[in-house]
Chains A and B, each alone.
Chain A
């Protein structure tokens, strides 16, 4: 006689995965975007040095790339639903 395991009422595994991923992505994206905004703010300051401006541009570029990648991922999730 085989015993079929009962299906749990709540899919805890999926729920925990949603939590971990949302925490990482949600907080990560906000932090990145804030760094981008802060970098842009530095870039616009008249008294910023060339090195600081270059660093700001690099940071803004990286932030833009990550945000764009996230938007693409979002579209893929929406389309594949």
Chain B
């Protein structure tokens, strides 16, 4: 297939996905750091953005196997990739609007599954792969993180009970900056490579690149820049949910949550069972809340987030399938233009509505309940002082 016109759109949409991936996942690395005041919100986001960019260049072992083991690789065609990317962007933007931390990787997998079912039927989907690569890790990740963070928080609280508050808070905040940095680099390496894989696949499918070619430098650069730019924008709504919504984090809790996230994510990568960064980070924050004496956690909010996780795959799948049918209805070249226009329109609509209750670096740490989440009940303050 040689269609440079479509290829350009694939690259643009892939970069768009990378951008939404960046701002959607900023919270995973920076939410506790912002919530505890270890870094100013803007500084935290800039640091994370720069380290995401560094991460994108650290490892170039791009496995151009997006959704490998989940859909039949031989049936993947360009409109399926485009449909998958559009489905993932729509889901990322929607969940961002509601401040829900959900997995960008699962949104992409869901989008591709939906587009693939629309293209080749359900037999092209390897359902066993979904259980092993999506469902099992989705359940395991937050549970592992929650349990470890709860035990770690409880121990840290007891061990530092007789330390003076100023030293304790300062020490934990320094630790948070370190773990934020490590998480940001890991995210840049992990997630920018996903998009590099998609673009490389498209280039190979178009005949622009030979099979098994190395990823071109310009692909690495634009993917790294896109994820860094997305991170720099800062998904403040999700940062707010993770930093203020689940529980009121003290520096000790913030530190234990971030160390737990870093360790679980890096360990799972090491053993070849990559767990979703978002699920791990969410589980860690919940665990940090459970580990306090009063166990102050908003479980209703956690339940809503878990529900969103459950519907990520089917919802992104429906969007992916619709995007595929749209392309087929209008023909591949014109279809991709129409679908891109609809996507831009939808993103603009969501952005316009988000301005009505704008969350940014200045108000991200406002007391929970002062914005659109006003129906939530306030929590009791934790026993440890947050500011020194």
Binary flags per residue of A18-39, CB closer than 8 Å to B gives 1, else 0: 1101110111011101111110
Chain A residues with CB under 8 A of B171: 33, 36-37, 40
Q: List CB contacts (< 8 Å) of A45-81 with chain B.
A: 45, 67, 71, 73-75, 77-81
In the complex, the answer to whether A9 meets B272 with C-beta atoms within 8 Å is no
Binary flags per residue of B135-149, CB closer than 8 Å to A gives 1, else 0: 010001000100111
B312 close to chain A: CB less than 8 A: no
Chain A residues with CB under 8 A of B58: 78-79
B90 close to chain A: CB less than 8 A: no
Task: From B154-162, B296-304, B379-387, give the one contacting chain A.
Answer: B154-162
In the complex formed, the residue of B with least CB distance to A25 is: B263
In the complex formed, the residue of A with least CB distance to B143 is: A19
Chain A residues with CB under 8 A of B272: 11, 14
CA distance A30 to B259 in the complex (A): 7
A4 close to chain B: CB less than 8 A: no
Minimum CB–CB distance from B66 to chain A (whole Å) comes to: 15
B131 close to chain A: CB less than 8 A: yes
A1 close to chain B: CB less than 8 A: no
Say what secondary structure dominates the interface of chain A. Answer: helix
With A33-B259, A81-B61: A10-B131 Cβ-Cβ less than 8 Å: yes
Say what secondary structure dominates the interface of chain B. Answer: helix
Minimum CB–CB distance from B173 to chain A (whole Å) comes to: 11
Given contacts A42-B163, A81-B269, 13 further A-B contacts (CB under 8 A): A21-B267, A22-B264, A23-B151, A27-B151, A27-B155, A30-B155, A34-B156, A38-B159, A74-B182, A75-B185, A77-B266, A78-B269, A80-B59
Interface residues of B (CB under 8 A from A): 55, 58-59, 61, 128, 131-132, 136, 140, 144, 147-149, 151-153, 155-156, 159-160, 162-164, 167-168, 171-172, 175, 178, 182, 185-186, 189-190, 193, 255-256, 259-260, 262-264, 266-273, 275
Interface residues of A (CB under 8 A from B): 8-11, 14-15, 17-19, 21-23, 25-27, 29-31, 33-38, 40-42, 44-45, 67, 71, 73-75, 77-81
